[in-house]
Amino acid sequence: MTSLIFAPADAATRPLHLVSKDVLEDWREGLDARARAFVEASGFAATAGEVVLLPDETGAVVAAAGGLGDATTRARKRFVVAELRGKLPEGSWAFRSELTGADLNEAALGWLLAGYVFGRYATVSALKAMLVAPEGVDAERLERIAAGEALTRDLINTPANDMGPDELEVAARVLAEAYGAEISVTTDAALKANFPMIHAVGRASPRAPRLIEMTWGSTGPHLTLVGKGVCFDTGGLNLKPGASMGLMKKDMGGAANVLGLAHMLMAGDTPIRLRVLIPAVENSVAGNAFRPGDILISRKGLTVEINNTDAEGRLVLADALALADESPTDLIISMATLTGAARVAVGPDLAPFYASFGDDAAALAAAADAVRDPVWRMPFWDPYEAMIEPGIADLDNAPKGGFAGSVTAALFLRRFVTETSRYMHFDVFGWNPSAEPGRPKGGVGQGIRALYEALPGMLKP
């Protein structure tokens, strides 16, 4: 049902004029008299998302114009062109505009993303207007980006009864098979012995916890992606209130993000050696659940005092990061729906990230601007290290006081990356709370398009 590809290049098309407010008058004057009179009578003002269908003398639609708004609107609203797609009749269309470079790519990608629908549980009509890829864009690249984004959205949108640790493993296996990647999964006694914190967090669920590992590529720099795969988070014995539990199917959004990014990288045959690690668990309540006050011994040997069982994401990530850090790698990136503090700081739209090297942060920020995938750098603030040291153990999983919650979580994770100099961590929300052009309400990728754009430069041999 999802329409995330361009129309064939030889398809019969009708022109779609993309008109901003600042060129409206000139564009209108360039029309023939009949079309100009029709546009004026329609009141078309080129406001963002506005569409006017242009008929011939028989009344048949032969062209259309779509408004882009003014510069201020475009700065505040991503993917304006995505809003046009649902207002156009069935058939193939071709852009007519002066857009170039990043603006043209955004318009074409926005069109594709507007075709995403999640129809697993209800009948949803797919959009039937298609677009021939504009000259000047890499159509295959944009299609693989859209497909990776759709994978991320599908995984997050699927409720926990159909997206537990086992189903997340299946999704990883399907992706691995599609691109010839190797995959292995650690469970049961081997998980308890080698990844004790992953096991501790997931042991109370009837759906077994596991560590999923996927590897792909034989040449080029080493990149390791680690994604938090908490398929549902009750909060454990520190039980969340009902209102806070409602969106916890998205607590595996970090895993969904890294799988979406992995799809883009593998589909594009990126010259890297890729490793994906996903600790997949459900944080449940049972007699064998881990408790506040417990002290866990991590894979790395660091001890962790549990002061809140609802701060479980950093525990499962820590064991996976320790594994990632044991093999030579050029860059480790972790992605997780980790803290409410990050949402308070930057809201749902921005993806806060931490980077050990300023050059990596600068490259990512530039890429994010280019592809309209906003990120915001947060600090690994060393003076806060003492906040995660409880005295009775090496680390505290939930420092008291409530200050700098996202920063202290990032510092906690950094303790498990000691051999790899380049580390980045993303504290994402993974959810779009209200529908926007190209981004329906629900699961959403954050930071992965920016990373896909930036990584080739960041990982030059």
DSSP characters over 275-300: EEEEEEEEE--STT---TT-EEEPTT
The closest alpha carbon to 435, from 444, 426, 427, belongs to 444
| The one-letter amino acid at 429 | F
Q: How many whole angstroms from its chain centre is CA 50? A: 28
Task: Tell me what pLDDT residue 314 has.
Answer: 98
**What count of other Cβ atoms lies within 10 Å of the Cβ of residue 397?**
27
CA distance 201 to 283: 6
**What count of other Cβ atoms lies within 10 Å of the Cβ of residue 32?**
8
The tokens of 135 are what?
Answer: 């000259």
Strand partners, 17: 65, 96
Catalytic residues: 240, 314
Asked if 65 and 44 count as a contact pair (C-beta separation under 8 A), the reply is: yes
Asked if 223 and 185 count as a contact pair (C-beta separation under 8 A), the reply is: no
CA distance 253 to 248: 10
Task: Tell me what pLDDT residue 100 has.
Answer: 95
Asked if 324 and 215 count as a contact pair (C-beta separation under 8 A), the reply is: no
Task: Tell me what pLDDT residue 201 has.
Answer: 98
DSSP characters over 30-72: TS-HHHHHHHHHHT----TT-EEEEE-TTS-EEEEEEEEE-HH
What structural domains and CATH numbers belong to the chain?
13-132 (3.40.220.10), 143-458 (3.40.630.10)
Question: Does residue 405 sit in helix, strand or coil?
Answer: helix
Which H or E element spans position 433? none
CA distance 433 to 250: 12
Asked if 337 and 250 count as a contact pair (C-beta separation under 8 A), the reply is: yes
Q: How many whole angstroms from its chain centre is CA 318? A: 21
Task: Tell me what pLDDT residue 231 has.
Answer: 98
CA distance 437 to 147: 17
Instruction: Please name the residues in contact with 218: beta carbons below 8 A apart, sequence gap of 6 or more.
Output: 273
**What count of other Cβ atoms lies within 10 Å of the Cβ of residue 92?**
16
Which H or E element spans position 236? none
Q: How crowded is the C-beta side of 44, counted as CA atoms within 13 Å?
A: 29
Binning the chain into helix, strand and coil, the percentages to the nearest 5 are: 40, 20, 40
CA distance 354 to 424: 5
Beta strand pairing call for 351-355 and 431-432:
unpaired
Each residue's pLDDT expressed in tens, for the chain with a length of 461 residues:
458 999 999 999 999 999 999 999 999 999 999 999 999 999 999 999 999 999 999 999 999 999 999 999 988 999 999 999 999 999 999 999 999 999 999 999 999 999 999 999 998 888 999 999 999 999 999 999 999 999 999 999 999 999 999 999 999 999 999 999 999 999 999 999 999 999 999 999 999 999 999 999 999 999 999 999 999 999 999 999 999 999 999 999 999 999 999 999 999 999 999 999 999 999 999 999 999 999 999 999 999 999 999 999 999 999 999 999 999 999 999 999 999 999 999 999 999 999 999 999 999 999 999 999 999 999 999 999 999 999 999 999 999 988 999 999 999 999 999 999 999 999 999 999 999 999 999 999 999 999 999 999 999 86
The tokens of 353 are what?
Answer: 């990230």
CA distance 39 to 280: 55
Rg of the chain on CA atoms, in Å: 24
- 300 φ/ψ angles, rounded to the nearest 5 degrees: -75, -10
CA distance 386 to 207: 36
CA distance 163 to 391: 38
Task: Tell me what pLDDT residue 125 has.
Answer: 87
First vs last C-alpha separation in the chain = 40
Sheet holding 91-96, edge to edge: 51-55, 61-69, 13-20, 91-96, 129-131
Asked if 450 and 353 count as a contact pair (C-beta separation under 8 A), the reply is: no
- 284 φ/ψ angles, rounded to the nearest 5 degrees: -115, 175
